[in-house]
Amino acid sequence: MRRLHLVVGLAAVLAFVITGQMMHFHQPKLVATPDDVHLMFLSRHVYLAGAALVNVCLGLYLRVQNTPWRRSLQIIGSTAVLLSPVFLLLAFLHEPAFGIAGRSWRSQLGVIPLVIGVALHFVASQGAKSQPEAN
């Protein structure tokens, strides 16, 4: 699971860099677009960065729990966190052109599962006995 988080996280970091370049070279320049369109590009860009970094951190530091209910929470949380960058990238590509009215299911399926996934990992880790680190 760690490796999958790391791969998805690094791919999302790459997508973040590419979307940054898309904003930089956007025609017309983003500063010339209406404020709501500009805000939508920037917010979706930042959301993607957040999802990417959460995945990278889980890829680097995730410790799978031995207790079945904790492990189940981690799997559900990981699934949510892994899907989040996909929907946030779709949100970046489709929503900004419509301005504030462009909020859609893509953003919701990106941000809400990210928050829920992190919360599930948090709950699964609370009170768990620390495991010796494998060398």
Q: Where are the domains of the chain?
A: 2-125
pLDDT at 132 over 90: no
pLDDT digits (tens, 9 = 90+) for 13-26: 999 999 999 888 87
pLDDT digits (tens, 9 = 90+) for 77-131: 999 999 999 999 999 988 887 777 767 888 899 999 999 999 999 999 998 776 6
Q: How far apart are CA 135 and CA 129, in angstroms?
A: 18
pTM of the model: 0.86
